[in-house]
Amino acid sequence: MAKTEILIISDTHGKGDLAERAVALTRPHLTIFCGDGLRDLAFRPALLPLYAVRGNCDYFTVPDIGETEETLTLTIDGLKLLITHGHRYGVKSGLGALITKAIQENTDAVIFGHTHEPLELTLLPEHASSRFGISLNKPLYLFNPGSLGYAPHSFGTLTIKDGVPLFGHGRLEH
């Protein structure tokens, strides 16, 4: 049975050393970065392989990381992920636009940052219509690791086993 361990971090805002500490704690196969602090990740080989998106505070290309997009879609172990910082979808005001994008892209899960607040939400088809006024044909997972750069210095984990996701949150003492 295939199993992939992923570290999810966002909003480091100058605290790249905490990203390395999170890697040492979780020992992931790969790292996903949801923006705001790309420059903090440069020259940190412990984070590799790294999939990163640009946040609203990331204005330039970073050595070792290169050009990044604001949204990335990738499939890992049969799970299709939409990764974004979230500012372009107004996530501080609500999740409707982000959910709409996830449905358009036919993703299984959305991983985002920007709010600095940890979130784990599963939308089930039978509840999506009444809660968000949308129609789903499969569950949709929404996950925000919170901010690694600001207290409580939170991060996320994703274990994918046979295409099934298990999300979790962790914290680092600063």
Residue type present at position 65: I
> b/e per residue, 88-109, with b = 16+ CB within 10 A?
ebebeeebeebbebbbeeebbb
What pLDDT, in 10s, does the model give residues 99-156? 999 999 999 999 999 999 999 999 988 876 666 677 788 999 999 999 999 999 999 9
Reported as a single tens digit per residue, the pLDDT across 27-77 is 999 999 999 999 998 888 888 899 999 999 998 777 667 678 999 999 999
Cα–Cα distance, 145 to 167 (Å, whole number): 9
Phi, psi of 11 (to 5 degrees): 50, 60
Phi and psi, residue 90, nearest 5°: 60, 40
Domains of the chain and any CATH numbers:
3-171 (3.60.21.10)
Enter the pTM of the model. 0.93
